[in-house]
Structure 1
Amino acid sequence: MKTITVARGPQEAAAIILGCMRMPALSVSEAATIIQTALDCGVNFFDNATAYGNGEAETRFGQAFAQSGNKRDDVFIQSKVGLCFERNEFDWTKENILSSVDDSLHRMKLDYLDSVLLHRPDLIFEPEQVAEAFDTLEKSGKVRYFGVSNVPPMQLELLKKYVKQPLIFNQLQLSLEQSQLIDQSLYLNNKTTDMSIDRDNGILDYCRLHDITIQAWSPLQYGMFEGSFIDHPNFPELNQALQEIGDKYGISKAAAAIAWILRHPANMQAIVGTMNPEHLADVCTAANVKLTHHEWYHLYLAAGKYLP
């Protein structure tokens, strides 16, 4: 498995992360199997959130990890806090951050989390409270590293004014079909296409400038949660191009789509959410391939983009 060095963070983080959002659908033994499959493939990085199944994903992960018999120190376990769907609000208050981490540790039967991310912006967050919460979590040993999810540059700047700890991760949506992180600069000042609209405030380049590792979520999805573009009849040209790349390297179309993300010089991680062991082993082969400059553009243009 390809690993990356995270600035001011872990030195050998797997390039592919197993996302645990769908884990509540599995039995404990099935979840233990997917965890073991991930580890066998070199994926030692697991992403969770308090909002996934309203805590059920963390509970199932904790039960399954204990059953798997693996050592805690051999894995990197991350969770996210701040989404409170039961209250219909996002909450970055000190009280909620601290209680959410405690709940996560209890559900997963852990003494500490390797990283905690703030999960989508609280629209009325007070950075001083976030800073106090992070200080408490760091001093207590409950959290080693910190980051954010779906947070734009100026809110990161505001956080950094108060938070002492480095913010080393930002989870952002990216796939061949949902590539707005990349598109806007290509179509800059072009009134003939909506792809010139800046929807991300330059967050990709901001993260690269400030040594924040991007974790790409929904790497095989089109729309927000509409489904996978792999073998979808609406994306014939893209699937043909993925097949060509897959045939060349002996990997599947899905793995080729993940390889496209891993080829980007931002040195991103890709979060895959499959709970199927065979599919997980298949997409992990993406880490064995480095696409050429030409192949990266070939896939990008096959996804419906064009060079102005």
Structure 2
Amino acid sequence: MSSRLVLGCMRIESLDDEAVRSLVGAALDAGITVFDHADIYGSARHACEQRFGDAVRFTPAKREQVVVQSKVGIREGYYDFSREHVERTVDESLAALRVDHLDVLLLHRPDALADPDDTAATLERLVAAGKVREVGVSNHTAGQMDLLQRSLPRRIFVNQLQCGLGHAALIASGLAANIVGLEQSADRDGGVLDACRRDGVVVQAWSPFGDASGRVVLGDRENHPVLNDALDEVAAAHGVSTAAVAVSWLTTHPAGMQVVVGSTRPERIAEAAPGAELRLSRPEWYRLFTAAGHTLP
């Protein structure tokens, strides 16, 4: 049921019903069965969820074949995992999406004031009420996951983290451990990728085509000329797009990552989709890694 690619829905607010349906149809045709939302996506809270809910009507059989997930916890100027906010937001998301449950609910960014026992109890109430089936986190470190998991009677299902060729610290730091003076060797997340692999937590890579400045690396020869030369050559060798190669760089990694693709253009989804199945050779994978500016000591 859960595909290697995820359709990110954070930019669909401006699309009309037919465009949303075309996008979702293209995703389904490409084998994508996971649709990612958050309460804050759009110009107002729940705006993109509402757009999706207004346009898309899954049959009961199809609804059981797809994963509709959303995120909660970011408010204007602060983060909030309080019971009142989380439960109210889930109800609002369900109404906006016009579904009776979320397959996955993610805590969007760590709330420093959250008590793990209280947060876990809130999540469990939502599961017991049938409003949520699985729970996860987003942008959480290994230690933050451990604190929550200690209080949570079910496994954290997913951690959604920024990762891609242009922003690969998640992977790159582990390839340069304990090297003094090398920025890449800094451990910023407590080894979260290895922790997820150890504990069976699915990693969802968001912004797979972006760099640390938020720019799209694909086709950006001004800032990423060496990487784009390598992407072009690997893409030509496999007869796919550079987007598919960038996706494949993540899906080739043995962590079994899912890749969140947020385009609103059906053709872009179709171009990226082959990357879910393409497996790069070691020379290709490491060539792209170094072409992106990362170090092999």
Give unpaired runs (5+ residues) of structure 1: 1-11
Residue 215 of structure 2 aligns with an amino acid whose one-letter code is G
Residue 284 of structure 1 aligns with an amino acid whose one-letter code is A
Report the counterpart of residue 114 of structure 1 in structure 2: 103
Change (3 A) 1:70 1:245: farther
Change (3 A) 1:68 1:229: farther
Contact 2:2 2:33 survives alignment (8 Å) = yes
Rounded Cα–Cα distance in structure 1 between residues aligned with 2:292 and 2:121:
44
Rounded Cα–Cα distance in structure 2 between residues aligned with 1:300 and 1:135:
40
Contact 2:176 2:295 survives alignment (8 Å) = no
Query: Is 1:64 aligned to 2:55, yes or no?
Result: yes
Contact 1:48 1:79 survives alignment (8 Å) = yes
Q: How far apart are 1:164 and its partner, in Å?
A: 1.2
Report the counterpart of residue 127 of structure 2 in structure 1: 138
Residue 229 of structure 1 aligns with an amino acid whose one-letter code is V
Contact 2:35 2:69 survives alignment (8 Å) = yes
Report the counterpart of residue 210 of structure 1 in structure 2: 199
Percent sequence identity is 39
Contact 1:131 1:163 survives alignment (8 Å) = yes
SS of equivalent to 2:39: coil
Q: Which runs of 4+ in 1 moved over 4 A?
A: 67-70
Residue 72 of structure 1 aligns with an amino acid whose one-letter code is R
Rounded Cα–Cα distance in structure 2 between residues aligned with 1:179 and 1:306:
11
- Give the alignment's TM-score, normalised by structure 2: 0.95
Question: Over residues 219-272 of structure 1, what are the superposed CA-to-partner deviations in whole Å (9 max), with x where a residue is unaligned?
Answer: 000115x22101102111111111111111110111101100000000000000
Of stretches 183-192 and 125-134 in structure 1, the one that deviates more from structure 2 is: 183-192
Rounded Cα–Cα distance in structure 1 between residues aligned with 2:179 and 2:64:
50
Question: Over residues 18-47 of structure 1, what are the superposed CA-to-partner deviations in whole Å (9 max), with x where a residue is unaligned?
Answer: 000001121122111101110111101100
Q: How far apart are 1:186 and its partner, in Å?
A: 2.0
**1:168 paired residue among 139, 157, 160:** 157
SS of equivalent to 2:56: helix
Rounded Cα–Cα distance in structure 1 between residues aligned with 2:134 and 2:234:
36
**2:187 paired residue among 189, 198, 213:** 198
Of stretches 16-25 and 157-166 in structure 1, the one that deviates more from structure 2 is: 157-166
Rounded Cα–Cα distance in structure 2 between residues aligned with 1:121 and 1:28:
34
SS of equivalent to 1:62: helix
Rounded Cα–Cα distance in structure 2 between residues aligned with 1:188 and 1:67:
47
Residue 82 of structure 1 aligns with an amino acid whose one-letter code is G
Matched ranges for 1:95-106 at <5 A: 95-106=84-95
Contact 2:205 2:257 survives alignment (8 Å) = yes
Query: Is 1:152 aligned to 2:141, yes or no?
Result: yes
Contact 1:35 1:68 survives alignment (8 Å) = no
Contact 2:2 2:34 survives alignment (8 Å) = yes
Q: How far apart are 1:200 and its partner, in Å?
A: 1.7
- Give the alignment's TM-score, normalised by structure 1: 0.92
Report the counterpart of residue 7 of structure 1 in structure 2: none
Change (3 A) 1:279 1:69: farther
Contact 2:71 2:106 survives alignment (8 Å) = yes
How many aligned positions are there?
294
Report the counterpart of residue 229 of structure 1 in structure 2: 217
Contact 1:41 1:284 survives alignment (8 Å) = yes
Residue 57 of structure 1 aligns with an amino acid whose one-letter code is C
Rounded Cα–Cα distance in structure 2 between residues aligned with 1:164 and 1:297:
39
Of stretches 179-188 and 18-27 in structure 1, the one that deviates more from structure 2 is: 179-188
Rounded Cα–Cα distance in structure 1 between residues aligned with 2:143 and 2:132:
25
Contact 2:106 2:135 survives alignment (8 Å) = yes
Question: Over residues 142-161 of structure 1, what are the superposed CA-to-partner deviations in whole Å (9 max), with x where a residue is unaligned?
Answer: 11111000011111111111
Residue 262 of structure 1 aligns with an amino acid whose one-letter code is T
Rounded Cα–Cα distance in structure 2 between residues aligned with 1:67 and 1:60:
14
Rounded Cα–Cα distance in structure 1 between residues aligned with 2:264 and 2:46:
17
Q: How far apart are 1:306 and its partner, in Å?
A: 2.5
**2:40 paired residue among 33, 46, 51:** 51
**1:278 paired residue among 267, 271, 289:** 267
Change (3 A) 1:116 1:213: same
Q: How far apart are 1:101 and its partner, in Å?
A: 0.6
Give unpaired runs (5+ residues) of structure 2: none
Give the alignment's Cα RMSD to 1 decimal: 1.5
